[in-house]
Amino acid sequence: MGRYIEEILQPGERLLYSTNAHWIFYMPAILAWIVVIILLVLSRATTTESIILLCLAAAAVIAIVAVYWTARAWFHRWTTETDVTNLRVVHKTGFIKRRTFEMSLDKVESVDVNQSILGRILNYGDVTILGVGEGKETISTIASPLAFRNYITAR
C-alpha cells in the first residue's frame, strides 16, 4: 500500500512538503510504560509477597492498556498524511473509514498556527486553513506546523 498523495497526484503536480501527526500521540503510552517499569522495580525491591503480587498484577493491567495506547497511536500516525503540493493542500486520516480534505492553494485565504508552550518546545501544533468559499479546516497536532504553513503561504 502506497501513500495516498502518490495515488492522487495530477499530471504536472509535485509534492513540496509532507508532515505527519506528531509523536506526542505516543505520550499516554510512554507514561503508562514508565509506570509499568516502576511497578516492576518496586516488585523486585520488596520482600513482602502480597506487595510483590500487587505490583505485578498492576503492572500487567497497565501493560495491557499501554499496548493498546501504543497500537492506537501508531495506527493514527500510520494512517494520517498531510501534504502540500505545488497546486493544493491535502490531508487524509483513516484507513477503512477515510476522511480527506483538499484545498487548492489559490483558494487559501489564511493559515493560522496554534501552539501551546509544550507545542513550541516539541515543535507541534494545530494548523487552521481558511479558504475562500471553501470553509475552514483545522489539522490537529501535526509536526513542524510553521514549516507546513510556510510551504502553503510561500508561492
Q: Which pTM does this prediction carry? A: 0.82
**Averaged pLDDT of the chain:** 93
Q: Is 154 exposed, middle or buried (0-12, 13-18, 19+ CB in 10 A)?
A: exposed
Write the CB contacts of 109 (distance below 8 Å, at least 6 apart in sequence).
130, 131, 132
Please provide residue 133's backbone torsions phi and psi, each rounded to the nearest 5 degrees.
70, 5
Q: Is the pLDDT of residue 1 over 90?
A: no
Distance between CA atoms of residues 79 and 71, nearest Å:
12
Q: What is the per-residue pLDDT for 44? A: 92
Q: What pLDDT digit, counting tens, does each position of 71-113 carry? A: 999 999 999 999 999 999 999 999 889 999 999 998 999 999 9
Q: Is the pLDDT of residue 2 over 80?
A: no
Residue 153 has which C-alpha cell? 503561504
Class for domain 16-21+82-153, per CATH? mainly beta
Q: What pLDDT digit, counting tens, does each position of 113-154 carry? A: 999 999 999 999 999 999 888 789 999 999 999 999 999 988
Q: What percent of the chain has pLDDT over 70?
A: 99
Q: What pLDDT digit, counting tens, does each position of 8-60 carry? A: 899 999 999 999 999 999 999 999 999 999 999 999 998 889 999 999 999 99
Q: What is the per-residue pLDDT for 134? A: 72
Which of the pair, 2 or 33, is modelled with greater confidence?
33
